[in-house]
Amino acid sequence: MIGVAAAIARQFYPGAVPEDRGERATEEPPDDLSAIAVGEGGSRAATTGRIAAALRGADGGYTAGVLTSGEFVARVAEWVATFNRGSLDLPDGLLHKDAIFRLNGTAYDEMLGRPSTDPLVRLVARGPGGYRLLCKALQYTLGAPEIALRNFEARHGLATGHVDVSGRLRDTDEAWVTNADVVMTIDIDGHVTELAVQMDDAAIARLGTARRA
């Protein structure tokens, strides 16, 4: 299990925060982002647009949810504040027990080369357990990382925004900051079922170098 945990903990740079639009945020999401290739046909922003379009589906329709946009982003803001205090706790019920995490289009359970139905894969790569493991990897790499989300919107079962990640690199102790795009899918009960981050390859490589030091 340690080997599996090490494999999944190599890269994760999360995000989440708020801006009330007063609209319904939680509606039934579509499948997943596995078919979206990061950087395909343009910038990271264009990639985020393609992901959002895929998540909305052909007709853009969902089943009406139970949380307003403001209620959802308030919960995400609580999540961000908790992370920035160095805690691995989560607001109750915010993250689905089988939530998928993606970095540049690749899901962490896919990195393991084992079936996603494998209980061990789900334990270390998905949901709250996967989140905590991946956050520990980021804390190891950046010391006391902080995140901030900008231009965050939640509607029609989809939340999008831009995240800043900052901290001190483990190998040089220098202050470091990067940014990324974030996309979340939200089910009808207000659970985040998928969290996808799009980050520049150079930033990912730099974090990898610091982690291995």
Instruction: For residue 113, report the phi and psi dihedrals to the nearest 5 degrees.
Output: 70, 25
Q: Mean of the pLDDT values across residues 182-194?
A: 95
Beta strand pairing status for 192-199 and 95-103? parallel
CA separation for the pair 195, 159 (Å, rounded): 9
Q: Which of 57, 99, 91 has its CA nearest to residue 72?
A: 91
CB 43 within 8 A of CB 51: no
Whats the size of the chain, residue-wise? 213
CATH top-level class for 2-212? alpha beta
Confidence class for position 126, pLDDT limits 50, 70, 90: very high
**Token pair belonging to 160:** 């999008």
Range of lowest pLDDT (6-15, 85-94, 163-172, 197-206): 6-15
pLDDT higher at 56 or 103? 103
Q: Which residues pair with 1 in a beta bridge?
A: none
DSSP state of 32: -
The Cα-based distances of 72 to 12, 95, 152, 171 in angstroms read: 23, 12, 11, 37
pLDDT digits (tens, 9 = 90+) for 38-91: 333 445 555 445 444 444 433 333 333 567 899 999 999 999 999 999 999 999
**Token pair belonging to 207:** 């974090």
Q: Which residues contact 153 (CB under 8 A, 6 or more apart)?
A: 19, 21, 69, 159, 160, 161
pTM above 0.75, yes or no: no
Delimit the domains of the chain by residue range. Answer: 2-212
CA separation for the pair 47, 104 (Å, rounded): 9
pLDDT higher at 57 or 184? 184
Name the 3-class secondary structure at 152.
strand
pLDDT of residue 9: 37
Residue environment code for 43-76, b if the CB has 16+ CB neighbours within 10 A, otherwise e: ebeebbebbbebbbeeeeebeebebbbbbbbebb
Q: Which residues pair with 167 in a beta bridge?
A: 176
Most confident of 2-6, 43-47, 48-52, 134-138: 134-138
